[in-house]
Amino acid sequence: MENPSRRDRPSPAEPVSQLRFIPVRECGEPLVDFLQLCPGLLLDRPRFRYQRETLLRRTVAEKLCRAEQSLPKAYRLAIVEGWRPPHIQRRMYRALWNRFRQEHPDWSEVRLKRVVNRFSAPMNDRVPPPHTTGGAVDLMLADADGQVVDLSSPYDPFDAGSYPFDAPGLSETARRHREILAQALLSVGLTNYPSEFWHWSYGDQGWAYRSSSPNAIYGAITPPGYQPDPADDIDAPLEFILAASENADFS
C-alpha cells in the first residue's frame, strides 16, 4: 500500500521507512563499464581501502556522458564510485557507525542509527542500498587537469555540516561549483540526494522518491560471473584512506 505522506512531505534524509513504499519494477538493464563507455569521465581517488568497480547501469552511464559533454570546457566529472557490491556496503556502514560513535559517545543507539542511515544506506531487501542497484553514483567536479575543485569551503572536509547540497554558509566558490555540477546532471535527468551533494541517481527508489515516479526501475544487481576479492569479502569495517585535507564523501 502506498504511503500517502511520502510525496507530500519529502524528507531530505529519504528514510527506509518511506522508501519502502516505492515498488521496484526491475527493467533488466545491464551494468556497463562507465570508463569504457565514456572515456571523458575521470576516476577520482578512492575514499576507502577496497577494490572499486567501474560499473553503472547503461542508461546512467550514458547520462553521465551527456552531462560531461555539457560542462564548461574548464571542468570535468570525476567519478568516485558507481555500483557497489553488498559486502562492501555492509563494511562501509560499519565504518560510518564506528566513526560517529567515536565522535559522539553520548548519542543514544536510536540517534546514532538515524544519523548513520542518513550518510550510509543499511542493507535492506525491500530497499536495496542505492549503489547496489547500479543506479547511483558518487562524483565530484574537477578542473581541466583532473584536480577536484573546491566544493565545501569554508567547512572542514570531514564536517557533516557541509554534506547537504544546500549547506548554509558555503563560500561563493564552493556554491558556484556545486551549481555547475547540478546544472549538468539535472539536465540529463539525474537527481540529487539532498543530504549529500556528491550523490546522484537515476532509476532507484531514491530517484523515484525525488521525482514522484510511481516505481523504481532498478533493484539490486550483481554482474554476471562476479567474484569478490577475498581480501575485501570480510566483516571488518572499511578503512578510510583519505587525508583530512581532502573531500570526505561516502554514501
Task: Report the DSSP beta bridge partners of residue 216.
Answer: 24
For 243, residues 6+ apart whose C-beta sits below 8 A from its C-beta are: none
pLDDT tens for the 251 residues of the chain, in order: 233 334 456 788 899 999 999 999 999 999 999 999 999 999 999 999 999 999 999 999 999 999 999 999 999 999 999 999 999 999 999 999 999 999 999 999 999 999 999 999 999 999 999 999 999 999 999 999 999 999 999 998 789 899 999 999 999 999 999 999 999 999 999 999 999 999 999 999 999 999 999 999 999 999 999 999 999 999 999 998 855 444 445 56
Distance (Å) of CA 221 to CA 43, 56, 74, 84, 136: 22, 10, 35, 10, 12
Domains of the chain with CATH codes: 25-211 (3.30.1380.10)
Q: How many CB atoms lie within 10 A of CB 199?
A: 25
As given in the structure block, the three cell numbers for residue 211 are 521525482
